[in-house]
A and B are shown apart, each in its own frame.
Chain A
């Protein structure tokens, strides 16, 4: 990387001479291994083309965008004009559905937090799909960015640079335990108050990312590598699917489940909601950290 002062770079950026490729020069020296299928095409950098047609198009786009935007806004405003007013009681959405969720939710699901009861019990099929969306996205990103070369333990230059930063490491050392602990609290408290698997998992994931930024990936790698990742996701998602399958099966066939709501307000209550929150939280935390790691260095 070229050494340039911040001021020079700022001026370059300001005057629009900032070269986007500069930051990736490190990458250009060790280009991605071309896929074995990339036979028909060369992998050399392509020259920029200045095609006249493209210029003409780029003039049309803003006009087209403005027209389409105005038409769409007018159409949607007309729709909104007809909508029930904001914040009023007795709107169509305020019908028997939320009434039962609030009135009987605590008795039926055992969750004090009605939203947790709705997403993990009444409408659990949605949430089952939702946690697999994350898994799908993680796999898709792995397909695109996972580099299959043997992971040589070269120290990432940026890693070394970051680790020298005293402010970052000190703050991270102080904050990471608190963040992760808070995440666990939010995760476990999902059926009792605001929180749940998704929010708690996101907080834990953020804590892990902060740790990785401050101290590098090497230490985390001992615990969280691609193999352990796959196993964690496998266990959490299979547990999720299996337990929900059991509960759906019982519900549809009118059988009694072994999970009972328990005493609302206790930490060990609300039947499946707590274990499901934990499973979801683990998946979300892994996905967040995993995405960061893949984007940062092409592997987990």
Chain B
């Protein structure tokens, strides 16, 4: 037990990241409020980026900006995850914008943010 906890503590950032990921995932999948779904989406994405960033970090090393012409690879942290996270953040901003726009549109149309109520209204309206 003690060993298990110690080992989890060793990768504490990853533990936090996967818990956040699961929270975001469940919120996105099951919450009925559209705005909270979008919040869940963002938590999920951010957790994934947190995990990715933590992979690049190495203790006692500098950020990957070359200083004084010193290009020894063992002096700097891994630059690749930072670049990937940058890409990921942009993607996440984009899908959030699209989801918010869809939510605005649905609210204008059905006057509700609750997905169940929207379904009920839509079904009543179209009789399907």
Contacts and interface: CB of A to CB of B under 8 A. Distances in A.
Interface of A: 20-21, 24, 27, 31-32, 40-43, 45-46, 48-49, 51, 54, 57-58, 61, 64-65, 68-69, 72-73, 76-77, 79-81, 83-89, 91, 93-94, 97-99, 101-106, 112-115, 118-119, 123, 126-127, 130-131, 133-134, 136-138, 140-141, 144-145, 193-194, 196, 198, 264, 284, 291, 294-295
Interface string B102-128: 101101111111001100110011100
B86 A72 contact: no
B111 A46 contact: yes
B111 A144 contact: no
Interface centre among A42, A102, A103, A127, by most chain B C-beta atoms within 10 angstroms, is A102
A133 B89 CA distance: 11
- In the A-B complex, list the 9 residue pairs whose CB atoms are closest, starting with the nearest: A137-B94, A76-B18, A114-B64, A99-B73, A72-B22, A46-B121, A119-B83, A98-B78, A114-B79
Contacts of A113: 64-66
A65 B84 CA distance: 30
Contacts of B59: 87-89
B14 interface: yes
Contacts of B79: 98, 101-102, 105, 114-115, 118
Given A65-B30, A68-B29, A85-B11, 13 more contacts: A46-B110, A69-B22, A80-B18, A101-B79, A114-B65, A126-B84, A130-B87, A133-B90, A134-B94, A136-B94, A138-B97, A198-B90, A295-B100
Contacts of A134: 90, 93-94
Q: How would you classify the secondary structure of chain B's contact residues: helix, strand, loop or mixed? A: helix
A104 B73 CA distance: 10
Contact of B55 (A27, A42, A93, A118): A93
B49 to A, nearest CB: 14
Nearest to A70: B22
Contacts of B86: 115, 119, 196, 198
Nearest to B75: A102
A41 B14 CA distance: 49
Given A112-B65, A134-B94, A198-B86, A73 B22 contact: yes
Nearest to B14: A80
Contacts of A84: 11
Nearest to B15: A80
B94 A94 contact: no
Contacts of B19: 73, 76-77
Nearest to A90: B58
Contacts of B55: 91, 93
A61 B112 contact: no
A123 B79 CA distance: 12
Given A80-B11, A119-B87, A102 B26 contact: no
8 contacts: A49-B117, A54-B117, A54-B120, A61-B32, A86-B11, A104-B71, A137-B95, A198-B89
